[in-house]
Amino acid sequence: MATELATTAGIDIEQALLGAIFLNNEAYQYVSTFLEPRHFLDPLHARIFDAAASLIRNGQRADPFTLKRYFEDDEPIRTQWGSVAVVQYIGRLLANAATAVNATFYARTIVEYAARREVQMLMAGIDFARGDLGTLSAGIERAAEVIRAASGAKAITPRRFGFPDPKSIAPRPVIMGGHYIRRYVSATIAPGGVGKSALVSVEALALVSGRRLLGSAPRAPKKVWYLGEDDQEELERRFAAVMRYYGICADDCGDRLFVQSFRESKIIVAEQQNGGTVINVRDIDAVVSSIKSFSIDVIIIDPLVKTHRVPENDNSAMETTYGAWVEIAERGNCAVELVVHSRKASGGQAKTVEDARGASSQLGAVRHARLIVRMTKEEAEPLGIEPEQAGLHIRIGDTKANMAPPPSDIHWLKLASVCLENGLDDDTADTTKADQVQVVTEFRAPATFDGVAWHDIDTLMRALKAQPRRQSEQAADWAGHLVGEMLGIDTSTKGGRSRVKAMLRAWRESGALKVERRLDETHHERPFLTLGTWAFGRNERVVATDNTDTTDTYRHHVTDTVANATKTSPTPPPL
């Protein structure tokens, strides 16, 4: 009697669920992760559910009309409405439709009834009279598994550690620079206009060409799929500018670069419906399918906000959104890079990666996050950069790296303007001016002694020996003015002044110069800089370059060309 009741109730519930899916296809999204055709009692219902699921996964509408082609050749069936054609039966299911909100409950009930039927069959196959305890034990264990699956429960078994040889463990699948990691999601965070898109565009071309453009290169060229918010022509301008600046041609990239606009290809992985967050299985499956079909190694989403329709301040909603991209990275076996806007902060730039716009917990799903920060005027001065040029320099800082310690060295980059030389002389064109496009380039702060000839330093030391100068930079006869004059450094600029001060500091620390207190022109005792333990050379011109080990050059020069001293300088100047 109970079995008959369960059977009758099971048919009604199956009808209600199928009707709910026809009424609102979103109901399928609520149940697709656990409900399968095999769970249905009625074989026809299993076929109807499978056909509807196929349509929905392929981005099509599932309703009695679109399902007609699957069942129009079926024989009539006997129902509570009498003998009817299958297509008519499907149409009548709408009358018994449940609401989409209740779809999960109905689906769980269908799975539970399926579990009960399987348990009954298991028990029916056991010969209790013979006392077959082994079969009985196996049947009970299987029944428990079925019931757990029906209730949504699962068994979690501890995994014993195998103590593998470290050399046998596969290395982390880092594609480039510790930021792009296969099967993981990374994020680049900054306010608008700082250079996020320009940065990832250069990195995309580094990946596809295999060239070291910003200090990093992949082990071998990779396939990259870039999706940006600008229109297609603007994206083409950006990549053309990068290729023009770095001398990259189409042959260097092969067929490995894919670039398109969100204006043409909309991807929504999560959206809010009826007060809850719903994963868009159709779009996720489509993205994964394309990644696999084209063997994409890295997909860059610029920006993340273009791929969801959920409140950014909702922790749960944003965790779901990031989780969707984690799933794509895992299923597609690729690296996912998300470009994320930061919240507005004082001074116009974010302070940490936690300033990513939206809910604070969203970065939990990200394996590596980095923050792009503009150079401040205070940072520009010691680097010899004029204050008005500071905004053209950026650095990557405050990284959140779950696999390795964050880098301590500051990596400065510079935004350069590249002319595409695409101006039009056509009278019908809107403009005749060629486009200027921003490109991220390497920036190496000049070392204190770069390009300085040792001959000139030698002459400078002779001048300081003959006439010591004041240590204070406020003094009219400050030693730094003499350094600038003799070495060709403009001490009227902040950058030049900072560089000269660094030179004087290096010479004081090495002992080449020393401080003595002397009377100035007003007969007041003041600190003066005068010659220390400097060993004069023979006026040989030696210039430090990027490829010159300046410290070794100095030691060799001073050791072999001592003129007025019997020993070498005890310590070469720091360079």
Q: What is the CATH number of the domain that holds 476?
A: 1.10.10
Does residue 303 have a cis bond before it (omega within 30 degrees)? yes
- Percent of the chain having pLDDT more than 90? 41
Q: Which residue has the higher pLDDT, 13 or 407?
A: 13
- Residue 566 forms part of a structural domain: no
Q: Provide the pLDDT confidence category of residue 572 given band limits of 50, 70 and 90.
A: very low
Checking if the pLDDT of 303 tops 90, the result is yes
| Contact present, 502 and 382 (Cβ < 8 Å) | yes
The reported pTM is 0.61
Domain stop point among 363, 386, 404: 404
- Residue 95 forms part of a structural domain: yes
- Residue 437 forms part of a structural domain: no
| Residue 178 and residue 96 in one domain | no
| Residue 145 and residue 28 in one domain | yes
Written in H, E and C, the secondary structure of 491-527 is: CCCHHHHHHHHHHHHHHHHHCCEEEEEEECCCCCEEE
* Domain span holding position 46: 2-151
- Residue 46 forms part of a structural domain: yes
Tokens for 141, please give them: 């264990």
Overall domain count for the chain: 3
| Residue 249 and residue 338 in one domain | yes
- Residue 305 forms part of a structural domain: yes
Average pLDDT for the chain = 81
| Contact present, 139 and 126 (Cβ < 8 Å) | yes
Q: Which residue has the higher pLDDT, 147 or 63?
A: 63
Cα distances (Å, whole numbers) of residue 226 to 204, 236, 318: 8, 11, 22
Checking if the pLDDT of 302 tops 60, the result is yes
- Residue 167 forms part of a structural domain: no
| Residue 347 and residue 219 in one domain | yes
Q: What is the pLDDT of residue 346?
A: 53
| Residue 360 and residue 494 in one domain | no
Residue 468 φ then ψ, to 5°: -55, 150
| Residue 42 and residue 186 in one domain | no
Q: What is the CATH number of the domain that holds 181?
A: 3.40.50.300
Domain stop point among 367, 386, 404: 404
Q: What is the pLDDT of residue 405?
A: 40
Secondary structure E strands in 242-334: 257-261, 270-273, 276-279, 298-302, 308-309
Q: What is the pLDDT of residue 466?
A: 92
Q: What is the pLDDT of residue 288?
A: 93
| Residue 225 and residue 367 in one domain | yes
- Residue 343 forms part of a structural domain: yes
DSSP-assigned letter for residue 488: T
| Residue 15 and residue 53 in one domain | yes
How confident is the model over 390-408, as pLDDT tens digits? 889 998 876 554 544 443 3
| Residue 311 and residue 351 in one domain | yes
Checking if the pLDDT of 301 tops 60, the result is yes
Q: What is the pLDDT of residue 92?
A: 85
Q: Which of 39-53, 439-453, 482-496 has the lowest mean pLDDT?
A: 439-453
Q: What is the CATH number of the domain that holds 18?
A: 1.10.860.10
- Residue 235 forms part of a structural domain: yes
User: Mean per-residue pLDDT for 420-448?
Assistant: 83
| Residue 198 and residue 346 in one domain | yes
Provide CB contacts within 8 A for 7, sequence distance 6+: 41
User: What is the number of residues in the chain?
Assistant: 575
Tokens for 465, please give them: 């020996």
Domain stop point among 86, 116, 151: 151
| Residue 181 and residue 145 in one domain | no
| Residue 127 and residue 205 in one domain | no
